[in-house]
């Protein structure tokens, strides 16, 4: 199976659990299991090539200019991790089927689990580091969802937040580090980066890149000082803890360190940072683990400790260290996942994980006890178990490592770590399963369904197999080590075996085990001492930091965003003015190149009218109706100006928009206060006037300078003028630009218009359903209503004029391609014709006669426009290329048929629908208020009175 | 002629800014309408002012004005109607919801932080 499919499989499969869940828990689990198994088989199908020493790669070019390609490659390291992820994934899915209770939504759980699985496989198989980063963040997100799966538990929510905050922050650092790495290597492909060891290590940016990458790895793999999130993540369901927080996700950081080992390791900084952090983590985790009472917390800190062990091994920078790290990853994954699953079984059966309430369970659940004991012995490093073999090798490596001065320090610290590790393992075994049988469990425990203990049993059989016959794992470990080392070093000549003779590591091991037993015996007193000593609590510190950040953010927001919108507007205006003044003072202006055109008397008169209307508007704006009339006058003058300066299309659009805008504002004024009270003092008004005048002078000056100068570079309009008829088939260049040259813009614009109309519709809906509705119904109009609100004369007139207006609309639409007009203007004109009916005959009357919903018309318009554009594909052209032809029908002149007509029809419908939808929304509001609607068009209708009088 | 148009733009802008800085919603809406006129005319004028040469291809025409700004402004006019309608609706909804048509947040009524502090 191709690598892309292997990665995609869990993502595609993530759709299954939700679909299958209604069919039953069994089907759901089986379906999820099938996905993982198929992915695993798909991965295995690549093994023959891998065994031949090939590296399987697959590449899809996506954004080559950005270096962003979907590139996957499979080498032994990737295959090793992918097998761990998918293999343990299968076991976890089987285990989870029996672990989850009937109240848990299994579909949701498995969906998250598969998402996580896909992201993890993506990390280990990605060749492109940018893609790797995306998968990396995806694991943080899916881990967040899984930890918080039981969202009714506050610990779950807090743990999920903390894990996301820590790993997410690390992820950001990692992005920075990886980008630097890619910059140094000149490629974002891992395979290329791995070959540039010298360039990377000698670069000045090596240290920042290293620190950022290690931040990402340490947070993910819970290394000191970022170890604190992992124990809190234990609020997750146990399958999640077993899968994410012991076997796979926390190993992502380790994986990345191993992957980048050939290019990053070997330097002083790497050695100090990685080995140091690892060593501290080993001891810290092991010591805390001994004193935890919660089984899962104990295992969590033990995981922290073991991850530290692996980190330290990678940090030493020797080939032997890398090999031991790989071997221990394998061993840790087997025994720790089994231990977590056993802890989950205990919790599931006894309803408690508190080690103080447990004991003697071996009598009640012998199978679980056996599995857990074997796995824990491996964790303790007892001979004949796999944990022993790799721990021996670790001590061997520690003996050859010198850090912080004295030679004995690292071996001594490592032994202390091993000692505590043995101690907590023994405590896990003896305090849970041995001792006297108790009868005060919250629930009576017994061995669970085989489906629950078989997965850990399988892992424990691996523990024993590798422990008894380590040479079986040797080819695997050496193969993977070869992939880690790359060309940087040779795979060491070392044979994995139980017995290496009486050598120092064995003595250290013996000390550790003996000390572990001693600590267990002394545990009661040690625990008392531990409980008395005050320690910094990571969660408290973390919460404090978060609370501090929130406090600062809140202060800043409070100061910057105090709700005084008017002041924001003033600040914005002044800022724009300041930028303009800066540009004016520092920039250069060329001499005027165009002569001023002499003004005509009419033009001057119009100008005077405009200035007068605007001035009046400012002075009387408190009388809102008067202001509306003045706005109408200004709009009219603007459209006259358009017409005067050779823009007939604009003039027509402006005047029809003016009509609908004024109608709209009138409808709104129906509810708003009719006057604006005087509130701001003289000073405030003077300030605003100064800002306004400065802005006006600036805008005017800019326009004046612009108008007297020629274009800096030749405008592209020549092209439009030349090709309008030849290419677009129309003589109205403006319209051809709209429907053809820049059709895509227009398409976007009608969509925006449609969205605006929908927003208004939705707002109206929301208002009319909420408390506003009651207010509207209880509203008393400010002014007495007209007795005859739908006068006869007006009704008759609007109805007579309607067909005329519609015909004008059709005419404007049809001629639009060649003469001023087109879909926009026609839509507005027809909208005005219909709005007249609403105004004259009343909302109820008009609504009864409305055949199509307006949002439907908007949608149809956008759809028709889009389909017309797509139609161009069938003639082999780009989206929205128009084609046209001329046909002749009998009795008519020859006329043109252009596909642009279809597009213009879409524009027409979208504009019509949007305008009517907005106006209708306002009038719906009016209808809810105080007025009783009559179904008749006219309030006073002589003919109706005659009729009713006749029948009485 | 250029001076007339430029000063017209200036007057519209000044009045627009002044009204936008008022304290109630309705004048602010009027102000944005004025600013819309000013901006549309300015954009249109960037094609320079030409009298009597509409961009309609004709056999006897010798020159045409720049059609591109016209096309851009045409859609801008229609879209600005849509936006005005949305703003009017929001203003109306806010007034009907609280019987108050102030633009500024009155006593931090909308400010989540202050609300929180009052609750504390």
pLDDT recorded at residue A945: 63
For residue B119, the distance in angstroms to the closest alpha carbon of chain A comes to 15
Residue B7 has pLDDT above 90, yes or no: yes
The structural domain count of chain B equals: 1
- Rg (chain A; Cα; Å): 39
| Range picked from A666-675, A689-698, A925-934 for highest mean pLDDT | A689-698
Cβ within 8 Å of A, B 72-91: 73-75, 77-86, 88-91
In this predicted structure, which of A314-328, A786-800, A933-947 has the lowest mean pLDDT? A933-947
Mean pLDDT of B43-62: 87
For residue A672, the distance in angstroms to the closest alpha carbon of chain B comes to 7
**pLDDT tens column, A243-271:** 988 888 889 999 999 999 989 888 889 99
**pLDDT tens column, A416-444:** 999 999 999 999 998 888 888 887 878 88
Whether A627 sits inside 8 A of B27 (CB atoms) is: yes
Nearest Cα residue in chain A from B78: A657
Give Dmax (Cα) for chain B: 78
DSSP assignment of A246-283: IISTHHHHHHHHHHTHHHHTTSHHHIIIIIHHHHHHHH
Task: Pick the more confident residue, A879 or A211.
Answer: A211
Task: Pick the more confident residue, A941 or A45.
Answer: A45
Strand partners, A68: A63
Whether B38 sits inside 8 A of A699 (CB atoms) is: yes
For residue A888, the distance in angstroms to the closest alpha carbon of chain B comes to 22
A77 touches A259 (CB < 8 A):
yes
pLDDT above 70 covers a percentage of chain A that reads 97
For residue A161, the distance in angstroms to the closest alpha carbon of chain B comes to 22
- Helix (H/G/I), strand (E/B), else coil: A587: coil
pLDDT recorded at residue A929: 66
Mean pLDDT of A8-13: 91
For residue A884, the distance in angstroms to the closest alpha carbon of chain B comes to 17
- Helix (H/G/I), strand (E/B), else coil: A657: helix
Give start and end residues of each alpha helix (H) in A186-249.
Answer: 190-193, 197-202, 206-220, 229-232, 238-242
End-to-end CA distance of chain B: 63
pLDDT recorded at residue A630: 95
Q: Which chain A residues touch B75 with a CB distance below 8 Å? A: 738, 745-746, 749, 824
C-alpha A12/C-alpha A15 separation (Å) is: 6
C-alpha A776/C-alpha A734 separation (Å) is: 45
Q: Confidence class of residue A950 from pLDDT cuts 50, 70 and 90?
A: very low
CA-closest candidate to residue A8, choices A37, A39, A29: A39
Residue B112 has pLDDT above 70, yes or no: no
**pLDDT tens column, A68-84:** 778 898 989 999 999 99
**pLDDT tens column, A763-819:** 988 888 878 887 777 777 777 777 777 888 889 999 999 999 999 999 999 888 888
C-alpha A400/C-alpha A558 separation (Å) is: 58
**Does B35 contact chain A (CB < 8 Å)?**
no
A711 touches B33 (CB < 8 A):
no
**Does A617 contact chain B (CB < 8 Å)?**
yes
Label residue A804 exposed, middle or buried (CB < 10 Å: 0-12, 13-18, 19+): exposed
**Does A393 contact chain B (CB < 8 Å)?**
no
Task: Pick the more confident residue, A924 or A477.
Answer: A477
Q: Which chain A residues touch B84 with a CB distance below 8 Å? A: 661, 664
Of B17, B42, B47, the CB nearest to A691: B17
| Cα-based angle A515, A519, A523 (whole degrees, multiple of 5) | 175
Whether B74 sits inside 8 A of A649 (CB atoms) is: yes
A163 touches A157 (CB < 8 A):
no
Nearest Cα residue in chain A from B56: A732
C-alpha B120/C-alpha B113 separation (Å) is: 11
Residue A611 has pLDDT above 80, yes or no: yes
C-alpha A120/C-alpha A112 separation (Å) is: 12
The domain that holds B100 is classified in CATH as: 1.10.287
pLDDT recorded at residue A580: 92
Of B78, B99, B111, the CB nearest to A911: B78
Residue A753 has pLDDT above 90, yes or no: yes
Q: Which chain B residues touch A615 with a CB distance below 8 Å? A: 11, 15
Continuous segment of H or E residues that includes residue A62: strand A56-63
Rama region for A381: left / alpha / beta (φ>0; ψ in -120 to 50; rest): left
Q: Which chain B residues touch A653 with a CB distance below 8 Å? A: 74, 77-78
Residue B111: domain span: 2-119
Whether B15 sits inside 8 A of A615 (CB atoms) is: yes
Residue A951 has pLDDT above 60, yes or no: no
| Cα-based angle A868, A871, A876 (whole degrees, multiple of 5) | 145
**pLDDT tens column, A163-197:** 999 999 999 999 999 999 999 988 888 888 988 88
**Does A648 contact chain B (CB < 8 Å)?**
yes
Of A564, A567, A746, the CB nearest to B75: A746
pLDDT above 90 covers a percentage of chain B that reads 53
pLDDT recorded at residue A214: 94
Q: For helices A771-778 and A743-769, give the axis angle rounded to 10 degrees.
A: 70
For residue A886, the distance in angstroms to the closest alpha carbon of chain B comes to 18
pLDDT recorded at residue A30: 92
Nearest Cα residue in chain B from A735: B71
C-alpha A399/C-alpha A406 separation (Å) is: 12
CA-closest candidate to residue A122, choices A39, A16, A209, A213: A39
pLDDT recorded at residue B113: 57
Task: Pick the more confident residue, A814 or A940.
Answer: A814
Residue A533 has pLDDT above 50, yes or no: yes
Strand partners, A74: A56
Q: Give the other-Cβ count within 10 Å of A822's Cβ.
A: 30
Q: Give the other-Cβ count within 10 Å of A335's Cβ.
A: 29
For residue B11, the distance in angstroms to the closest alpha carbon of chain A comes to 6
Mean pLDDT of A532-558: 87
Beta strands A884-888 and A894-898 are antiparallel
Q: Which chain A residues touch B63 with a CB distance below 8 Å? A: none
Cis peptide before A225 (omega within 30 of 0): yes
For residue A703, the distance in angstroms to the closest alpha carbon of chain B comes to 5
Tokens 């059609």: give the residue.
Answer: B67
**Does B43 contact chain A (CB < 8 Å)?**
no
* Sign (positive or negative) of CA dihedral A843, A848, A854, A855: positive
pLDDT recorded at residue A358: 85
pLDDT recorded at residue A952: 39
Q: Confidence class of residue A635 from pLDDT cuts 50, 70 and 90?
A: very high
Whether A650 sits inside 8 A of B70 (CB atoms) is: yes
Tokens of A387: 């944990």
For every residue of A760-816, which 3-state class applies, written as one string? Answer: HHHHHHHHHHCHHHHHHHHCCCCCCCCCCCCCHHHHHHHHHHHHHHHHHHHHHHHHC
- Helix (H/G/I), strand (E/B), else coil: A121: helix
C-alpha A478/C-alpha A470 separation (Å) is: 12
For residue A3, the distance in angstroms to the closest alpha carbon of chain B comes to 48
Whether B104 sits inside 8 A of A708 (CB atoms) is: no
Of A566, A734, A772, the CB nearest to B23: A566
Cβ within 8 Å of B, A 656-685: 657, 660-661, 664-665, 668-669, 671-673, 676-677, 679-680
Strand partners, A888: A894
Q: Which chain B residues touch A819 with a CB distance below 8 Å? A: 56
C-alpha A75/C-alpha A79 separation (Å) is: 6
CA-closest candidate to residue A671, choices A596, A776, A784: A776
pLDDT above 90 covers a percentage of chain A that reads 44
**Does B61 contact chain A (CB < 8 Å)?**
no
Mean pLDDT of A504-508: 86
B48, B66, B71, B98, best to mutate vs chain A, most A CBs in 10 Å:
B71
Helix then strand then coil, % of chain A, to nearest 5: 75, 5, 25
Contacts of A523 (CB under 8 A, 6+ apart): A290, A423, A427
Torsion angle of alpha carbons A372, A374, A380, A381, nearest 10°? Answer: -160
CA-closest candidate to residue A902, choices A745, A732, A737, A743: A743
Tally DSSP H helices, then E strands, for chain B.
4, 0
Q: Which chain A residues touch B91 with a CB distance below 8 Å? A: 668, 672
For residue A596, the distance in angstroms to the closest alpha carbon of chain B comes to 6
pLDDT recorded at residue A55: 84
Q: Confidence class of residue A43 from pLDDT cuts 50, 70 and 90?
A: very high
Residue A101 has pLDDT above 70, yes or no: yes
For B6-38, give one letter per residue: b (16+ CB within 10 A) or e.
bbbbbbbbbbbbbbbbbbbbbbbbbbbbbbbbb
Mean pLDDT of A106-117: 92
Kindly provide the ipTM of the predicted complex, given to two decimals: 0.93
Mean pLDDT of A354-378: 89
pLDDT recorded at residue A23: 87
C-alpha A167/C-alpha B18 separation (Å) is: 50
C-alpha A740/C-alpha A742 separation (Å) is: 6
Whether B11 sits inside 8 A of A614 (CB atoms) is: yes
Nearest Cα residue in chain A from B84: A661
- Helix (H/G/I), strand (E/B), else coil: A57: strand
**pLDDT tens column, A819-860:** 888 899 999 999 999 988 888 888 888 888 888 889 899 999
């Amino acid at each position: 199976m191709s690598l892309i499919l292997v990665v995609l499989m869990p993502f595609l499969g993530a759709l299954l659990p939700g679909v299958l869940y209604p069919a039953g828990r069994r089907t759901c689990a089986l379906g999820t299991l099938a996905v993982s198994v198929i992915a695993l088989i798909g991965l295995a199908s690549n093994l023959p090539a891998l065994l031949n020493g090939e590296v399987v790669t697959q590449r899809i070019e996506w954004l080559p200019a950005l270096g962003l390609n979907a590139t996957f490659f499979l080498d032994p390291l990737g295959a090793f991790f992918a097998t761990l992820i998918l293999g343990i994934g299968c076991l976890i899915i089987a285990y989870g089927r029996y672990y989850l209770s009937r109240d848990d939504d299994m579909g949701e759980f498995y969906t998250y689990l598969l998402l996580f699985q896909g992201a993890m496989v993506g990390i280990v198989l990605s060749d492109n580091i940018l893609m790797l980063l995306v998968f990396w963040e995806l694991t943080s997100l899916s881990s967040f969802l899984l930890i918080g799966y039981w969202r009714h538990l506050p610990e779950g929510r807090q743990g999920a937040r903390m894990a996301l905050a820590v790993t997410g922050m690390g992820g950001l650092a990692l992005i920075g580090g990886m980008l630097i790495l890619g910059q140094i290597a000149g490629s974002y492909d891992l395979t290329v980066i791995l070959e540039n060891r010298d360039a990377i290590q000698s670069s000045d940016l090596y240290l920042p890149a290293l620190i950022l990458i290690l931040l990402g790895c340490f947070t993910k793999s819970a290394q000191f000082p970022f170890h604190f999130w992992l124990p809190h993540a234990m609020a997750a369901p146990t399958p999640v803890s077993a899968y994410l927080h012991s076997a796979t996700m926390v190993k992502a950081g380790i994986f990345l360190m191993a992957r980048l080992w050939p290019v990053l390791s070997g330097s002083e900084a790497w050695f100090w940072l990685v080995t140091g952090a690892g060593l501290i983590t080993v001891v810290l985790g092991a010591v805390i683990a001994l004193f935890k009472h919660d089984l899962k917390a104990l295992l969590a800190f033990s995981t922290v400790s073991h991850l530290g062990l692996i980190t330290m091994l990678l940090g030493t920078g020797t080939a032997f260290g890398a090999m031991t790290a790989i071997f221990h990853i394998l061993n840790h994954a087997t025994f720790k996942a089994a231990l977590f699953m056993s802890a989950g079984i205990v919790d599931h059966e006894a309803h408690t994980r508190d080690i103080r309430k447990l004991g003697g369970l071996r009598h009640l659940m012998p199978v679980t006890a056996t599995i857990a004991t074997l796995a824990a012995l491996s964790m303790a490093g007892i001979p004949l178990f796999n944990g022993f073999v790799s721990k021996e090798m670790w001590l061997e490596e520690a003996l050859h490592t010198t850090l912080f001065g004295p030679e004995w320090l690292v071996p001594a610290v490592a032994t202390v770590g091993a000692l505590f590790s043995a101690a907590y393992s023994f405590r896990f075994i003896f305090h849970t399963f041995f001792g006297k049988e108790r009868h005060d469990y919250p629930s009576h425990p017994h061995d669970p369904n085989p489906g629950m203990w078989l997965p850990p049993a399988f892992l424990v059989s691996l523990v024993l197999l590798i422990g008894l016959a380590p040479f079986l794992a040797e080819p695997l470990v050496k193969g993977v080590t070869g992939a880690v080392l790359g060309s940087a070093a040779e795979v060491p000549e070392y044979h994995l075996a139980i017995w290496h003779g009486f050598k120092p590591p064995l003595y250290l091991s013996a000390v550790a085990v003996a000390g572990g037993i001693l600590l267990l015996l002394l545990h009661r007193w040690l625990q008392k001492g531990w409980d008395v000593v005050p320690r910094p609590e990571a969660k408290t510190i973390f919460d404090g930091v978060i609370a501090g950040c929130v406090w600062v953010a809140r202060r800043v927001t409070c100061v910057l965003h105090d709700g005084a919108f008017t002041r924001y507007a003033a600040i914005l205006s002044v800022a724009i003015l300041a930028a303009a003044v800066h540009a004016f003072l520092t920039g250069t202006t060329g001499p005027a190149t165009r002569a001023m055109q002499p003004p005509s008397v009419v033009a001057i008169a119009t100008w005077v009218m405009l200035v007068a209307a605007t001035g009046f508007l400012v002075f009387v704006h408190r009388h809102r109706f008067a202001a509306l009339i003045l706005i109408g006058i200004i709009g009219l003058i603007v459209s006259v100006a358009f017409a005067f300066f050779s823009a007939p299309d604009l003039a027509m659009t402006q005047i029809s928009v003016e009509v609908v805008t004024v109608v709209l504002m009138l409808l709104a004024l129906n509810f708003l206060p009719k006057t604006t009270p005087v509130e701001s003092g003289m000073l405030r008004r003077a300030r605003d006037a100064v800002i306004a005048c400065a802005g006006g002078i600036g805008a005017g000056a800019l326009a004046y300078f612009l108008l007297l100068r020629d274009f800096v570079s030749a405008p592209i309009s020549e092209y439009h003028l030349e090709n309008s008829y030849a290419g677009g088939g129309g003589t109205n260049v403006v319209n051809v630009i709209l429907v053809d040259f820049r059709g895509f813009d227009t398409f976007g614009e009608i969509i925006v218009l449609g969205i605006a109309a929908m927003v208004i519709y939705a707002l109206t809906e929301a208002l009319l359903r909420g408390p506003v509705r009651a207010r509207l119904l209880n509203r008393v109009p400010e002014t007495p209503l007209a007795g005859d609100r739908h006068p006869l004369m007006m009704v008759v007139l609007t109805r007579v004029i309607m067909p005329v207006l519609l015909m004008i609309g059709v005419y404007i639409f049809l001629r639009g391609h060649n003469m001023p007009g087109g879909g926009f203007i026609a839509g507005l004109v027809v909208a005005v014709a219909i709005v007249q009916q609403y105004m004259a005959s009343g909302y109820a009357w008009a609504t009864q006669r409305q055949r199509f919903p307006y949002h439907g018309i908007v949608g149809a318009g956008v759809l028709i426009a889009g389909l017309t554009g797509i139609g161009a594909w069938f003639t082999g052209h780009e989206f929205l290329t128009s084609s046209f032809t001329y046909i002749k029908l009998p009795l008519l002149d020859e006329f043109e048929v252009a596909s642009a007509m279809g597009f213009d029809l879409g524009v027409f419908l979208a504009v019509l629908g949007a305008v009517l939808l907005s106006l209708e929304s306002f009038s719906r509001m009016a209808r809810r208020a105080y007025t009783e609607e009559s179904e008749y068009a006219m309030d006073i209708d002589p003919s109706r009175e005659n009729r009713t009088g006749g029948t009485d | 002629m250029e001076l007339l148009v430029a000063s017209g733009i200036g007057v519209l802008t000044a009045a627009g800014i002044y009204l936008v800085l008022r304290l109630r919603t309705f004048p602010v809406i009027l102000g944005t309408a004025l600013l819309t006129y000013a901006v549309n005319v300015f954009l249109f004028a960037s094609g320079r002012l030409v009298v009597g040469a509409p961009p309609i291809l004709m056999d006897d025409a010798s020159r045409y004005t720049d059609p591109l700004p016209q096309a851009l402004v045409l859609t801008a006019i229609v879209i600005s109607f849509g936006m005005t309608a949305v703003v009017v609706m929001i203003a109306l909804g806010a007034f009907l919801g609280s019987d108050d048509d102030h633009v500024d947040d009155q006593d931090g009524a909308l400010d989540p932080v202050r609300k929180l502090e009052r609750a504390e």
